[in-house]
A and B are shown apart, each in its own frame.
Chain A
Amino acid sequence: MGFLGYLVRKKNYVTLLATFVMAIFLMAALLAPFLFDWETATRVTLDTSLLSPSLAHPLGTDELGRDLLARVVWGARITLIVALVSVAIAMILGVLIGSLCGYYENWFTDAVMRFMDFMIAFPRTLLAIIVVTVLGSGVLSLTLAIGISTIPANVRLFRGPILALKRRQFTVAAKALGARDSSILFSHILPNTTSLIIIQGTLSLAEAILIGSGLSFLGLGPQPPIPEWGAMIAASRAHITSHPHVILAPGITLFAVILAFNLVGDALRDYADPRSRKAI
Chain B
Amino acid sequence: MTNEELIALAAQEAEDAKKYRYCLDICTGTGCMSSCSDAIATAIEAEVRERGLQNEIKVKQVGCMGLCASGPILSVQPLGLLYREMTPEEGVAVLVSLLDEKPQVEKRIDTLQPFFSRQERNVLENTGVIDPERVNDYIAVGGYTALIKAITEMTSAEVVQEVLHSGLRGRGGAGYPTGLKWSTVAKVPGELKYVVCNADEGDPGAFMDRSVLESDPHRVLEGMAIAAFAVGASQGYVYVRAEYPLAIKRVKSAIKAAEKMGLIGQAICGTPFNFRVEVRLGAGAFVCGEETALLNSIEGNRGMPRLRPPYPAQSGLFGKPTLVNNVETFANIPGIINNGGAWFARIGTEKSKGTKVFALTGKITNTGLIEVPMGITLREIIYDIGGGIPNGRKFKAVQTGGPSGGCIPAEHLDTPVDYESLKNLGSMMGSGGMVVIDDSSNMIDMARFFMEFSMEESCGKCAPCRVGTVQLYNLLGKFQAGIATEEDLTTLEELCDLMRNTSLCGLGQAAPNPILSTLRYFRHEYLEKIQPSVAAPPEEAL
Tell me if chain B binds chain A.
Answer: no
List residues of chain A with CB under 8 Å of any chain B CB. none
List residues of chain B with CB under 8 Å of any chain A CB. none
